[in-house]
Amino acid sequence: MSSDQRPKETQPNFGFEDDLLTLPDQKLERPKMYKVVLNNDDYTPMEFVIHVLQKFFRKNEGEAMQIMLLVHKTGKGVAGTFPFSIAETKVRQVSDFSRQHGYPLLITLEQE
């Protein structure tokens, strides 16, 4: 029996019962996910798009080639899917990188 007269939540070992750490049940919502979409254009070189997919989306050369060709042939392709703050950061980084190199590569977000 505990002789500590304070309410349980203010006792120093609150949360520990017989050496087991007990935590309140948690309900975690899964974050909404966003697709980062590459759009085709007539001016950005294929090699540059492959480089972007490797540098910013950690694709290997084969994966990057496949995605680039899908975009080239169909108009669009998904580079990756992320929570919003990561997805919008990727869009900004790739847009900045493309403009710095003088290319109009369009990259957009779509909620999954």
8/58 with CB nearer ligand TYC: 58
Is 34 within 8 Å of 87 (Cβ atoms)? yes
| Cα distance between residue 34 and residue 82, in whole Å | 5
The footprint of ligand TYC (CB under 6 A) covers 38-42, 44-46, 49, 68, 71-72, 105
To the nearest whole angstrom, how small is the minimum distance from the Cβ of residue 40 to ligand TYC? 5
Q: Tell me whether residue 8 or residue 99 sits nearer to ligand TYC (CB atom).
A: 99
CB of 94 to ligand TYC, least distance (A): 10
Helix (H, G, I), strand (E, B) or coil at 86: helix
- Pick from 40, 33, 34: nearest CA to 77: 40
Indicate the residue whose CB is closest to ligand TYC. 71
